[in-house]
Each structure stands twice: as structure tokens, then as C-alpha cells.
């Protein structure tokens, strides 16, 4: 399970740290790569296996890696391109050539079907009754009065929801930035001792970088109310840690029973009575779930302290930076929880919904005198505009879910994993090695001479060349650049500049 955070096809493999952590996972990793686009597909355990107390942690990882009956419960929405088109989060690597007004991917149109049908029936009934029985038309002065109020309400709803969406993106951008900095501090600025101790240092550094990735992945699952740890992108990273989530592992949480057709259709159409409470698995847990991202930070802090004690992190500057970055990760955790747990007050949500529906239901009475039969399509168009804006605000209010318009948290986690792969692919750079290479054209593009050639020059020659480089900038004429190049050409050799 060490490759649990591997990227989809055409993306980077799992970090070397995860591979080193559990070499027995190779057969499983092949299966995981074949289903790599199912980022949160849960792990299916054997029916007869029970997970014991803390002393049996290795058995848990071994079971995840070698069980013959291990399967990935693939979400039904991933079975076809058509299904994936209407679900999210949006794939940032794909784009559509259709005009924006004709796109359905990311549109709230499916959730608008039932409200528009309701408005169509209502406006038809009002129009037919007014035409055949009694004229129900009223003065359209209400269009101006109520329209202003509805506009203010929708503006407030949309701006508040987008602010939460933007805050969520800012926190995840800060998470990516902090992960890069902390990973670089661990991999580059933390030393490695000689002999067997150095091997241990490398493995510990890889394990610590895995914890950074595990923090991002666990935060993603926590924000989506997925309290377990047996997800394919998380189990191999934290299965060895003593955490409350590990003790509270429940097969029904990661492998729930399939939804009925009616329930799936109701959720797809945005019918409130068919939507499940996303917190239900958290509420139904029979054991304390703890706080997995926070517990991961505790383990990461303990690693940083061990580096200070064993002398591999000797610089007080780097020590302070490492502790500060761990604290920043905690601030990000708190900030994302604030966005998740502080929605628009219920009173505002109810009032805005009621104002919008009252305006739409009264609209046919105001339009009939002027439009007659055209009242029906006019009411539908107005309902689509008003309810569409209200629905968008409701959808983006929680930016951490799995709707098309939610933040692509899986992509962000894969980005962190890929960047860690890049960082750990080579040892810590040796300054004396890469600085002194002949390919290091220190005065490029003015001079084609490398570092060794310029090292043989005097300090005055180097400073004169630097001044000449400024004068021969791209804004200078080519003739002036040619003249300056000739002036700094070596006099003792035939080398070109």
C-alpha cells in the first residue's frame, strides 16, 4: 500500500518514500495503478480479519498489502465517460472546446430540472386559469420592488459563497507552498551521518516527507467527512502510526452498501430529501475518531526534535523554520475547518430561498396582462436565472466536496506527491560539483565561457565583464554588443566569447 497516493495514468508514480516503506506492496501497487483514477476507492478487507490493539499495527499493513481478497470498490460514476461528465471535482488537465454557454460539465442544470418543471406547471396553471376562467393578472409594479430585493439577496448569497470557495483555495495553496518548503528543509538542510546511521537518516527523511503528504491526504478526507484511514491513498502512509482513526477502523465506512436507484437519482437532481448527511459516518462511529491530521503533525514534530537531538539538523535557523512550518500546517488545518464549519447562517439561507421562490411564484400574475401565453416560457427563463444563481451559491459554499465545482483536492495531493518525487529523486546537490562545471556559463548570454575559464581571470576582469554585460543588454544595439564582446575576449587563448 506504499503507493496509495500514486497519480493517475500519465502522472508521476508514488513517492520513493512510500515505495521504501513497504516493498511487499508491489503486487498491490500494480492493481492500484490500473485503477489510479479512482482516487478515494476504499480498501476491502477480508470478512474474517479483525484489527487488534496497537501492538498489532504491522499486521494491519501486511493485511492491506497481501490479502488475496483485496478489492477496490469502484464508484459507479466512474464506469463511463458520460457519468464522469456530470461528476467531479473537475479534472484540471482536461478542457472542453464547446462554447461556455453550451457546456453541461460544471453546470447546475441537473439540479434545476425539478424546480423548472414546478415553475412550468405553476405558470401554466395560472395562465390557463386567467385565460379561461378569471383574469388573475396584477400590476407589474411588484417586478421593480421585489426584483430589487431579490437582486440584493442573490448578490449577498453569491459573494458570501464565493468568498468561502476562494478561502478554501488560498488555504490549499498555502498547504502546497508549506509542504514544498518543509520537504526541502528535511531533504536538503537535514544532514546524513556516516555508515549505517546515514542509511537510517535517509529512511527517516523519506518517512517524514511521507508524513507531510499524509497530512494533506488526511486533511482532504477529513474535510469530506471520511473518518477512516483504509483509503488507498492514505493507508500506506499512516497505517504504521498509533492513531485513534486506526483503532476506529470500520469496514462499512470505507465500503458502504450501494445506493438505490431512486436515492442516486434524487441526489443527482438535487432533491433535498434524497441527500444524505455527510457527517453520518462520523456520528455513527462507536470509537473515538481522534483528529488524524493533528496526530500526524504530532509525529512530524517528534521527528524534527529527533533531528535536533542526533545532530543532523544543527542550524538554529533551519530548526526555527521547520517548527514554524509545522505550525503553519496547523494554521491551515484550523482555517479549512473554519471554512467547512461556518456556513452562511441558517436564517439567511432560509430567507434568501423564500424570497427567491416568492418572487418566482408571483411572477406569472405580473406577466400575464402583458404576455398572456408567453407568460409560461418567460416565467421559466426568469426562474432559471434566479434559482440558478441561488443554486450556485449553495453548491460552492462547501468547496471541499466532490461536486464538479468543488476544489480538486485529489489533484493538489498528487501535485505534492509529484514534487516530493522530484525532490527525492537525486541526493542533496553538492555545491562544489555543480558550480564548477564547464557548462556553467556564468556570463551567459554575453560570454560562452564556463566557470573554469572565468576562474582563471582576475577579479578586475570579471567585474569589467559584468559591467560590459549590463551595457550589452538586449536593449543595446547589436554593434555595441559586438564591440564589448571583443573587448573582453581572452588575449592569451583563442577561445570565443
**Residues 158-203 pLDDT 10s:** 999 999 999 999 999 999 999 999 999 999 999 999 888 989 999 9
Residue 13's pLDDT band, with cuts at 50, 70 and 90, is very low
Instruction: Find the mean pLDDT for residues 212-223.
Output: 95
Instruction: Find the mean pLDDT for residues 203-220.
Output: 95
Extents of the domains making up the chain: 110-425, 432-469
**Residues 113-166 pLDDT 10s:** 888 999 999 999 999 999 898 888 888 787 778 888 899 999 999 999 999 999
pLDDT at 270: 62
**Residues 353-379 pLDDT 10s:** 999 999 999 999 988 888 889 999 999
227 pLDDT above the threshold of 90: no
Residue 402's pLDDT band, with cuts at 50, 70 and 90, is confident
Q: Are 295 and 267 in contact (CB under 8 A)?
A: no
Residue 191's contacts (CB-CB under 8 Å, 6 or more residues apart) are 201, 311, 312, 313, 314
pLDDT at 268: 60
pLDDT at 491: 47
pLDDT at 369: 87
Q: What's the burial of 307, exposed, middle or buried (CB within 10 Å: 0-12/13-18/19+)?
A: buried
Residue 266's pLDDT band, with cuts at 50, 70 and 90, is low
pLDDT at 137: 84
Instruction: Find the mean pLDDT for residues 69-74.
Output: 37
* Maximum mean pLDDT: which of 45-49, 284-288, 431-435: 431-435
Instruction: Find the mean pLDDT for residues 392-398.
Output: 88
pLDDT at 126: 93
pLDDT at 30: 35
Segment among 96-100, 188-192, 400-404, 479-483 with least mean pLDDT: 479-483
**Residue 472 or 432, more confident:** 432
Residue 106's pLDDT band, with cuts at 50, 70 and 90, is confident
- Strand ranges (E), 361-444: none
pLDDT at 403: 82
pLDDT at 483: 45
Segment among 53-62, 188-197, 217-226, 384-393 with least mean pLDDT: 53-62
pLDDT at 87: 59
Q: Are 152 and 386 in contact (CB under 8 A)?
A: no
pLDDT at 231: 86
The beta-carbon contacts of 492-496 under 8 Å, at least 24 apart in sequence, are 495/449, 495/453, 496/448
48 DSSP assignment: T
pLDDT at 420: 94
pLDDT at 195: 86
Which ranges constitute the DSSP H helices of 185-257?
196-223, 235-238, 244-247, 251-254
C-alpha 130/C-alpha 134 separation (Å) is: 5
pLDDT at 99: 72
Residue 250's contacts (CB-CB under 8 Å, 6 or more residues apart) are 228, 281, 285, 286
Nine-digit cell string for 55: 501492538
C-alpha 338/C-alpha 8 separation (Å) is: 31
Residues in the chain: 497
Residue 17's pLDDT band, with cuts at 50, 70 and 90, is very low
Mean pLDDT of the chain: 77
pLDDT at 77: 39
**Residues 275-324 pLDDT 10s:** 666 777 777 777 888 899 999 999 999 999 999 999 999 999 999 999 99
Amino acid at each position: 500500500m506504499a503507493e496509495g497516493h500514486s497519480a493517475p495514468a500519465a502522472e508521476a508514480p508514488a513517492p520513493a518514500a512510500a515505495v521504501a516503506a513497504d516493498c511487499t506492496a508491489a503486487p498491490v501497487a500494480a492493481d492500484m495503478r490500473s485503477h489510479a483514477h479512482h482516487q478515494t476507492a476504499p480498501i476491502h478487507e477480508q470478512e474474517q480479519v479483525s484489527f487488534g490493539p496497537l501492538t498489532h499495527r504491522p499486521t494491519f499493513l501486511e493485511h492491506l498489502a497481501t490479502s488475496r481478497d483485496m478489492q477496490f470498490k469502484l464508484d459507479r460514476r466512474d464506469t463511463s465517460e458520460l457519468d464522469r461528465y456530470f461528476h467531479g471535482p473537475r479534472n484540471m488537465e482536461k478542457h472542453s472546446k464547446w462554447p461556455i454557454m453550451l457546456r453541461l460539465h460544471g453546470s447546475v442544470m441537473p439540479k434545476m430540472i425539478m424546480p423548472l418543471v414546478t415553475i412550468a406547471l405553476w405558470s401554466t396553471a395560472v395562465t390557463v386559469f386567467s385565460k379561461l376562467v378569471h383574469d388573475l393578472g396584477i400590476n407589474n409594479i411588484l417586478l421593480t420592488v421585489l426584483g430589487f430585493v431579490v437582486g440584493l439577496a442573490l448578490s449577498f448569497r453569491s459573494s458570501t459563497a464565493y468568498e468561502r470557495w476562494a478561502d478554501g483555495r488560498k488555504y490549499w495553496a498555502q498547504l502546497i507552498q508549506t509542504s514544498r518548503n518543509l520537504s526541502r528543509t528535511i531533504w536538503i538542510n537535514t544532514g546524513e551521518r556516516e555508515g549505517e546511521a546515514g542509511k537510517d537518516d535517509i529512511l527517516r527523511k523519506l518517512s517524514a516527507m511521507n508524513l507531510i503528504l499524509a497530512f494533506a491526504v488526511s486533511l482532504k478526507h477529513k474535510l469530506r467527512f471520511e473518518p477512516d484511514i483504509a483509503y488507498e491513498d492514505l493507508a500506506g502512509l499512516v497505517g504504521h502510526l498509533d492513531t485513534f482513526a486506526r483503532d476506529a477502523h470500520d469496514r462499512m465506512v470505507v465500503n458502504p452498501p450501494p445506493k438505490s436507484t431512486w436515492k442516486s437519482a434524487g441526489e443527482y437532481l438535487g432533491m433535498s430529501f434524497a441527500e444524505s448527511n455527510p457527517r453520518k459516518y462520523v456520528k455513527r462511529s462507536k470509537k473515538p475518531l481522534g483528529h488524524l491530521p493533528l496526530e500526524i503533525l504530532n509525529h512530524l514534530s517528534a521527528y524534527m526534535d529527533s533531528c535536533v537531538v542526533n545532530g543532523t539538523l544543527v542550524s538554529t535557523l533551519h530548526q526555527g523554520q521547520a517548527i514554524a512550518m509545522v505550525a503553519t500546517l496547523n494554521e491551515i488545518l484550523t482555517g479549512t475547518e473554519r471554512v467547512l464549519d461556518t456556513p452562511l447562517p441558517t436564517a439567511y439561507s432560509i430567507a434568501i430561498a423564500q424570497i427567491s421562490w416568492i418572487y418566482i411564484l408571483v411572477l406569472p400574475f405580473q406577466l400575464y396582462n402583458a404576455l398572456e401565453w408567453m407568460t409560461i416560457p418567460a416565467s421559466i427563463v426568469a426562474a432559471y436565472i434566479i434559482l440558478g444563481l441561488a443554486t450556485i451559491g449553495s453548491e460552492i459554499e462547501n468547496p471541499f466536496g466532490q461536486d464538479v465545482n468543488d476544489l480538486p483536492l485529489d489533484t493538489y495531493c498528487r501535485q505534492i506527491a509529484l514534487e516530493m518525487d522530484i525532490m527525492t529523486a537525486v541526493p542533496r546537490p553538492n555545491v562544489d560539483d555543480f558550480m564548477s562545471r564547464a557548462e556553467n556559463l556564468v556570463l551567459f548570454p554575453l560570454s560562452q565561457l564556463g566557470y573554469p575559464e572565468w576562474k582563471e581571470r582576475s577579479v578586475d576582469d570579471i567585474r569589467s565583464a559584468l559591467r560590459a554585460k549590463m551595457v550589452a543588454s538586449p536593449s543595446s544595439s547589436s554593434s555595441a554588443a559586438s564591440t564589448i564582446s571583443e573587448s573582453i575576449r581572452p588575449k592569451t587563448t583563442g577561445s570565443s566569447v
